[in-house]
Amino acid sequence: MDVSSVLVPADRLKQHLGSPGLVVLDASVGARRGADRVPGARRFDIDGAMSDPGSPVPHTMPSPDRFTEEMRALGVNTSDTVVVYDAAGVYSSARAWWMLRAMGFDRVAVLDGGLPAWIAAGLPTERGEPEPPEPGDFTAHPRPGFFVDADEVAVALGDPGRAVLDARSAGRFAGTEPEPRPGLRGGHMPGSVNLPFTALQDGDGRMLPAPALRDLFADATGGRERLVLSCGSGVTACVLALGAELAGYRDLTVYDGSWSEWGLPSGRRPVETDGTGGTGGTGS
């Protein structure tokens, strides 16, 4: 299956479903995880095994060794092609796509519109757990620069050549809506720009065409090409990464700790609540 594009429509995935060397992964998270799944899909558990168990904040990237172990347990081979999706549309599937890319695996694409698009196309689903696969031979080859920490974000905020984009809703960015995780401060990083991830999608949860995405990013970045992407816990920041890549941006990195780290009540990191920002969804 050709994944030269980072997006795969439902009808094309259906044509190849069950083909040797094609692995479909369900990367749904939290309350957005449903009972139905694409036939044969295996669970890419961002809430559990696919996050660092030693991190004090949620959804952080696991070590290369742990990632290798978990991908092998999912039966993924180095030679496979992977399509990831989630039950919310394009939400946490983009996080799985970005993680695989960060670990040196490029034959991965996102199901455009996710499970809702699959169901809307009248395609079959199943319930229950699939048969455990044979262990794969996947090996992580981590690439530097796909994720950055708070110190690197602080540097980027002071760099006129870089734009720090926040995928959370306008209300959370402004500090007028409460954070869903207790104890976090409201607001945003001084100098960051709000681009809610929902602004990158149509009403059916599919990603906008590349020209529309280019316009959105050009407005948000003021023409800057080097992007640092953040959100609530490093999940929907990856939707921005997906959209930016579709729009032609190549110098991208994700702040893994995102607001779950920056917004901690320690007060170490500066926060603004000036009410600037766009419109859109919640942004995990």
Whether 278 has a pLDDT exceeding 50, the answer reads: no
**Average pLDDT across the chain, whole number:** 94
Catalytic-labelled residue, pool 71, 87, 231, 252: 231
> What is the model's pLDDT at position 30?
86
Under 8 Å between Cβ of 205 and 231: no
Rounded distance, CA 104 to CA 46, Å? 18
Show the domains of the chain with their CATH numbers. 7-120 (3.40.250.10), 147-262 (3.40.250.10)
236 Cβ neighbours under 8 A, 6+ residues apart: 91, 94, 95, 167, 168, 197, 283, 284
Whether 279 has a pLDDT exceeding 60, the answer reads: no
Q: Which pair of tokens denotes residue 189?
A: 């990083």
What is the reported pTM?
0.95
Mean pLDDT of 102-106: 98
Please, which pLDDT band fits residue 276 given cuts at 50, 70 and 90? very low
Under 8 Å between Cβ of 100 and 76: no
Chain Cα centroid distance, residue 201: 14
> What is the model's pLDDT at position 282?
57
Chain segment 128-170, per-residue pLDDT in tens: 888 899 999 999 999 999 999 999 999 999 999 999 999 999 9
Whether 231 is a known active-site residue: answer: yes
Under 8 Å between Cβ of 187 and 173: yes
- Range 207-234 burial, b when 16+ CB lie within 10 A, else e: bbeeebbbebbeebbeebebbbbbbbbb
Whether 280 has a pLDDT exceeding 80, the answer reads: no
